Structure 1
C-alpha cells in the first residue's frame, strides 16, 4: 500500500515542505558546530575565484565546505574538532582509505629521492608486470588523471581504426573528456547543459544511446563508422545503473563485428575487486582506463591496450607524420606516482582487503534496505562491490534517462547535511558510499543508524 498522498507533489515520496524544514534545521546545526570553519571559509577562501580552489567544492550541500584538519583511515577531522566517518573517500580517490600505510611509506621514501625527472625509477620496473597481473592487458601507459587517460586512449582508437566517431551511453561519466559531454533529451542528442565556453556541436562526432539498449547499439554500429565505444561497466556518476544480464557479452560481440574498439573505464567500478569489474566478470576490452585510487590518493591514472591494438598503433606510429602526438603531460609517469602506485598494487589492492570491503558493503546494503522498508519510502539500494548507493526512486534503474529522472537534488542535499550532523560523510554529488580497508563494522553500524534516524524524520 502506498502511504503517500499522490494528490500532493512529492520528491522521492517526501513533501517539499518537509525537505525544506529538515534542511534549514540541519544547516543551523552544521553552522553552530563549526564556528572556526565559518569564520575562515564561511565567506569563501581569500584569493580563490568563487572562494574555493576548485569550483565544484561549492557543490557540497553544506552551508559552506568542511575545512579539513586531517584525515586518516576512514575518518576526517575538521578544524573545529568534528570527527566524521568518511564514506565519500574523495569520491573514490581515497577508496583504500586516507594515507594507506604502505603508500605513505612509499611517498616518504621517494620524497627524498626526487619528485619528478621525466625518467623512470626502479619502481617502474615492477609496475608494468603488476598492471598485467591485475588487469590482464599486456601494454600500459601512465597518465595523471582518468580524463587524460581516456582522452589518450580515444586518440589511439581513432588512429588505428581511421574512424572519427565514438559512442557513449546516456548518463556516462568519463571525467571532462569533451567528446563524452553529450546527453539524450527526448531521444535526441544534445551537448550537456552547463558546459563552459563550448561552441562546438559535440554530437557531430559522438553518437549516444541508452545503456542496456542492445537494439539501439546494433543500429548505431551498423554503418561501421564508430572508432570506439567508451563505457563504464556500471553507470556510476548518476543514480547507479547496473548492466542487465548478457549486456556486456553482447556489447563485446557487436563491437567486434563492427570493427569498433571497446574501452572500459573502471575508475569508479574498481570497487568490484582487485582487477575491477573487468576481471571479476571476464570482460575483454581493447582499451582499459583506471584513475583516482590507483596510487592511493596521489594523482595518477593508467591506460592499457590489447596486443592487437598495440600492434596496430605501433604500425601507425611508424608511418604517421612527425610531430607532437597530442598525448602526454610533463608530470605524468613521475617517480612519486610510481612509488605510490607500486605500493597500492602490491600491498593495498589485495584479495584480503577487498574481501573485508565487500563484506561490510553487503552489511551496509542490507542495513540501508531494511531502513527504507521500515520507513516505507519509495527508495532502493544499488551496489557494485564496495560501492553502495541509495536511490530515491522505487525500482532498479535501467538506463541514464531513468537515472536522471530519479535524481532528487533537494531531498539528497537535506539527507547529506543531516548525515554530516550525525557524524557521517557521503559523496556530495549523488548518494554514494564507499567501504575502504580501514572502514570498521562500527562505522557501518553508525551510518545505518544515522540513515535510519534521518529517513524516519523525513517519512514522519
Structure 2
C-alpha cells in the first residue's frame, strides 16, 4: 500500500527540512568528528533519521530543547533511562544532597539507603535479596555467572532478537532457515556464540523444550515481552510454560525487566504474577543516574552462599568499584520512593492507552496493514498486521525508510520517538496534550504518505 517513490521523495523533503532547521546541531556534529569516534560520545547516537543527531541544550520532565532552540515532546525518554522524566525534582534533590551536601559518591562504604532500595525492590518484584551494578548489562553478566556457578552448566538460552545490553552470549539469533547463527553486526565476538548459548524464537514452547533437553543450559535469560525488536507480547500460557519447562529441566530463569518495567511498578513479574529465580533491571530505577540491580530468590541466594570457593569480593567476575555507590543508591531511593510510584504508573499507563487508541484510529482510518502494541506505559507501532509473534517475524517486517520518514517528520514538528524503533514511553510528567500532539503530527505524516 506504500508508494515507495512517494516515500523516497517525502523522506528527502523531511531530511532537507531537518538540516535547515538544525544548523547548530549540524555544526556541533562536524566539530565533534575531529576527536570523537564516529563523531558522537557513543556510536549508537549515530542512529538518526536525518544524517546527524540533535544536540541537547536542556531537558526537564517530558520536554527536551536542542541547541537550535527547538522544544520537543519527548516520548523517547532515553529509551527507558528517563522513564521517571528528565531530572525529576526528588531525584535531583537526593543526588545534590548526597554529592554536594553530605558529600561522597564512591567511598567503598554502604549507605542506609541501599537497604531501603533492596526492600522496595523485593516488595515490587517478589525476590528477597538484591545487589547493585551500574548498568543492566552488568546485572545480566553477573546473574549469568552466578547461574553457571550454582548449576555447573556452561550454556545459557536466549530468544532470537532479544535485548539484554552488550552481553556477549546473547548475540545469537535464529535465521530464516531455522539455524542458530551469530547476530549480524556482532563486533569482535570472543568466541562463536553457539559455543556459549542456545537460542529459540519467542512464543515457541516446543523449541524451548528441544533446546533445554540437551541438559547443558544453566539459565534462560528472557524479557517477559520482547521490546527492542518492537514489542512482542507473550501468547496466553506461554510464560507459565517457560517456568514449567525450566523447572523440569533444572534450569534457572532470569526475567530481564529493564525495558518491561513499563508494565507496572514491579514490571511484568508483578503485573503477570511471574515467579523467576532472578530479576535484572537498570536504567529507569535511578531516575537518570547510572544504575542497575539484580534480585535473587531465597533458594538461589542460599546456593550461592553455600559455595565458599566463589570470590564475590575482589576478582571473581562479579562486581565493580562503582557498583552500589552512594550517589546511585540515593538516586534509586528517591526515584522509587517519590517518582515512579504505584500511583504514577497508573497515570502513565492510562496515557499509554490513550496513545495506543489514537494510533490505532489513524491506522484504521487509512486501512493500513500496521499494528500498535502496548506494554503498560510503553506503546509501539509496527508495519505489520497482525502484530509479529516472535523476534524473527518482527525483524522481517522492519522498514528503515518508513521508520526514518516518520521519525524525521515527527522531529521536524516537535515530537521525539526512540530512534531505534517507533516506541513511545510515558513518564509522570507526560500529559494528554503531549499524546494528542503526537497523534496530530502522526496523522499528518500518514496523510502525506498515503493521500
Please give the TM-score of this superposition, normalised by the length of structure 2.
0.97
Give secondary structure in 1 for the equivalent of 2:306: helix
Root-mean-square deviation over aligned CA pairs:
1.3
Specify whether residues 42 and 259 from structure 1 end up closer, same or farther in structure 2 by C-alpha distance, changes over 3 A only.
same
What's 2:57 paired with?
Answer: 69
Q: Which of 231, 236, 242 matches 1:251? A: 242
What's 1:10 paired with?
Answer: none
Matches of 2:324 and 2:309, distance apart in 1? 26
Specify whether residues 321 and 353 from structure 1 end up closer, same or farther in structure 2 by C-alpha distance, changes over 3 A only.
closer
Q: Which of 139, 144, 158 matches 1:149? A: 139
Per-residue deviation, 1:397:
1.2
What's 1:232 paired with?
Answer: 223
Q: Which of 21, 38, 44 matches 2:9? A: 21
Matches of 2:112 and 2:392, distance apart in 1? 47
Matches of 1:342 and 1:321, distance apart in 2? 28
Matches of 1:236 and 1:215, distance apart in 2? 22
Per-residue deviation, 1:321:
7.5
What's 2:41 paired with?
Answer: 53
Per-residue deviation, 1:45:
4.3
Per-residue deviation, 1:42:
4.3
Matches of 1:431 and 1:145, distance apart in 2? 24
Matches of 2:372 and 2:311, distance apart in 1? 52
For the pair 1:340 / 2:331, whether they are aligned, the reply is yes
What's 2:350 paired with?
Answer: 359
Matches of 2:77 and 2:196, distance apart in 1? 35
Matches of 1:350 and 1:110, distance apart in 2? 22
Q: Structure 2 matches for 1:191-340, cutoff 5 A? A: 191-316=182-307, 318-320=308-310, 324-340=315-331
Q: Give the unaligned 5+ runs of structure 2.
A: none
Per-residue deviation, 1:44:
4.0
Q: Which of 30, 38, 44 matches 2:26? A: 38
Q: Structure 2 matches for 1:77-156, cutoff 5 A? A: 77-112=65-100, 113-156=103-146
Matches of 2:190 and 2:259, distance apart in 1? 29
Matches of 2:38 and 2:410, distance apart in 1? 26
What's 2:167 paired with?
Answer: 177
Contact 2:356 2:374 in 1 (8 A): yes
Per-residue deviation, 1:143:
0.1
Query: Residue deviations 1:194-241, cap 9 Å, x none?
Result: 122225211122111110001111111123221000000100000221
Matches of 1:165 and 1:63, distance apart in 2? 40
Query: Residue deviations 1:118-165, cap 9 Å, x none?
Result: 111232232221121121101110000010000000000000000001
Contact 1:377 1:459 in 2 (8 A): no
Matches of 2:25 and 2:117, distance apart in 1? 41
Contact 1:239 1:406 in 2 (8 A): no
What's 1:8 paired with?
Answer: none
Matches of 1:333 and 1:227, distance apart in 2? 26
Aligned length: 447
Matches of 1:321 and 1:67, distance apart in 2? 43
Give secondary structure in 2 for the equivalent of 1:319: coil
Q: Give the unaligned 5+ runs of structure 1.
A: 1-12
Contact 1:146 1:290 in 2 (8 A): yes
Per-residue deviation, 1:410:
1.3
For the pair 1:419 / 2:410, whether they are aligned, the reply is yes
Per-residue deviation, 1:50:
1.4
Per-residue deviation, 1:43:
5.7
Per-residue deviation, 1:40:
2.1
Name the stretch that deviates more: 120-129 or 434-443. 120-129
Please give the TM-score of this superposition, normalised by the length of structure 1.
0.95
Query: Residue deviations 1:299-338, cap 9 Å, x none?
Result: 000001101000001112x134897211111111101101
Per-residue deviation, 1:193:
1.4
Per-residue deviation, 1:37:
1.9
